[in-house]
Structure 1
């Protein structure tokens, strides 16, 4: 069996599996990511103009590098059935696992390079370093990342859970020490300290007893990795693979009184409960909370208005998913309710929820903009667009 081809095939199958959800997640997050990048670039540029050598910039730079060096995953795509079909080829699994390590190393080296590019403007300004220092420190960081990723892989093969926890702590401590030494000490001493620590760390990795392939742990870690990706995608689109906990949220008394016990309010009641008891509740609430936090944090008038509009748009797009629930249900043809009432009621419920989100985000917007009337005008514009969208979409 070609183990390298098997790994490539499983990678392609996983990407094909998440592609539909990643497409919707990208649509929901792309504009927010662009806005965040622009705002962060402006804030970082202003920070570089303001910062002085008295500012504790060394711990800040070390913290960014520490996150890049200490983190990292190795995707193996191992499955439960592999303990039956691949276990007899355990000695030949080295090719499969080496392919996984190479893929993880390339990705993690890219993350390390990105972290160093982020830190360099501040480091270069504070130390007046030139391009040679940039290249030397980048090479050192890449070697450190290689050592730490080998440490991560060794942890996954250790036999004793207690030993594994100790080596995880050792990896974090070494990453923190190396990051701080490179940023706080003068160049030769920082490199020597980090290099000596790396040699000692790699030597310690050879001491504990290890499995050739720790099947149970690798399969469990792969299951967790896959679940974490689906949970991330579930922030933007309802993912069936995420088995959320069943929620029994009683309809609040105020909402119950607002929905008359009449035939024409049947779908209003149904879809309000659907929103309360599905993943849409968590998605819309998170969007509203993040939008409010960004509006409060941003000091620029135009940026706050753009964030308000974008998060209002994201909330509307997420609420549009409400119409897919019970759309093809057979009971719609049995209920003694006019058929056209379903679309009208679904749009009305979506509009009311969206209106509440727009009102909540408009509260901090009144304090962010110099004139509260501007916030009121933006709110009225958002309400009008929301009514049209949920009425005809």
Structure 2
């Protein structure tokens, strides 16, 4: 019988070998930006800690920071399409393979939980004075709770019915948010006790729905999407083999492209607007806008808001830069009776409009939370000018 555990680690090593050349260049490119981002974050967080008072809803802010890590995360299985032919007959031996995937995910996500708690702790320690032993106790609690949430997510992937899977996904995020908030809002003993009781009840519920032993089709689809997301990230820094995601035809949004004139000069604008609407970039943009809007709404320190807004605008622009790679090597663009310069000009225009709309929406709360609307307007104008220059020459 095949050693599936060794197969998992061999596939992991092969994948790392595959991306290592691109990862090297990406790390070189991102090092300076990461250093600047870290300095800006450190300065902004220090200013925030000096300004924040117990009257501020810090429990919600701490919950939001921990929730992203506790409720999210991925399990890399490295399963391939051919596995349904070669590994499916050995499904009974796949437990060692999948346990290796879970252990790796558990270790990696435990590191992220530790980092998140290190970031939240200074705020928690200031606003809910506590001794150092509580830091270690709660870190252990968060690490155990993360393993519960990870097991819940893995169980969701094995459920047979999709509606049941969606309900349990909603349950996981809702329970994670409620229990995390309880730990911050209540006395530590009561909060941890409630979190423990909720986790035990949740583990009991996970035993109720019908499950596959290995949900091959869903796990392979998830793995393909995970791999594609890594390549999209690396493609921001260096050209890598393209792994296209699935197109999503959301008909209720197709009306947006009708605003583009049906003329030759609007051909590429029409194409790339549809690409944005039907690709994963649409979801990424929407998440940036929603998260940024509520984060801007939660603070009223001018400096902190400006730093936060700059970070949101910067990262959303970097994500939209990925739009330029679509159809870059496609044969049809050399056949269309269109000027070669039209494509680059059109994609830059589409990205600029999308990014400007995004930063305008994110900036709306600043007109109410900053001490002066003039500051908010100036911040928005500076961001808009930089955005136009970036998309014009990037």
Displaced runs of 4+ in structure 1, greater than 6 A? Answer: 242-245, 273-279, 297-300
User: How many aligned positions are there?
Assistant: 354
Q: CA deviation at 1:207?
A: 1.5
1:29–1:277 CA distance, 2 compared to 1 (3 A): farther
**Any conservation in 1 of the 2:77–2:101 contact (CA below 8 Å)?**
yes
RMSD across aligned C-alpha pairs, in angstroms? Answer: 5.4
CA offset digits 1:287-343 (Å, max 9, x no partner): xx99xx9xxx9988xx9xx99xx99xx9xx99xx9xx989xxxxxxxxxxxxxxxxx
Within a 5 Å distance, the mapping from 1:1-393 to structure 2 comes to: 1-236=2-237, 237=239, 239=242
CA distance in 2, matches of 1:325, 1:217: 30
Aligned partners of 2:217 and 2:50: how far apart in 1?
Answer: 52
Is the CA contact 1:231–1:242 (under 8 Å) kept in the aligned structure 2? no
Provide the secondary structure at the position in 2 that maps to 1:72. Answer: coil
Q: C-alpha distance in 2, partners of 1:217/1:100?
A: 15
Q: Is the 8 A contact 1:230 1:242 kept in 2?
A: no
Instruction: Give the C-alpha shift of residue 278 in structure 1.
Output: 8.9
- The answer to whether the 8 A contact 1:105-1:149 is kept is yes
CA 1:221–1:240 in 2, change beyond 3 Å: closer, same or farther? closer
Once the two structures are superposed, residues 41-96 of structure 1 have per-residue CA deviations (whole angstroms, 9 ceiling, x without a partner) of: 10100110111111111111111111111101111111111111111111111000
1:244-281 Cα offsets, whole Å, 9 max, x none, are 99xxx9xx99xxxxxxxxxxxxxxxxxxx9999899x9
Residues 230, 275 of structure 1: CA spacing in aligned structure 2 closer, same or farther, 3 A cutoff? farther
TM-score, length-scaled by structure 2: 0.66
- Partners of 1:243 and 1:30 in 2: CA distance: 31
Corresponding position of 1:267: none
Deviations 1:155-211 (A, max 9, x none): 111111121111111111211121011100001100110010011111111122211
TM-score, scaled relative to structure 1: 0.66
Which has more radius of gyration?
1
Structure 1: distance between partners of 2:86 and 2:136 = 46
Q: Could you list the per-position Cα deviations for residues 90-113 of structure 1 after superposition, in whole angstroms to 9, with x for gaps in the alignment? A: 111100000000001001111111
Contact 1:72 1:108 in 2 (8 A): yes
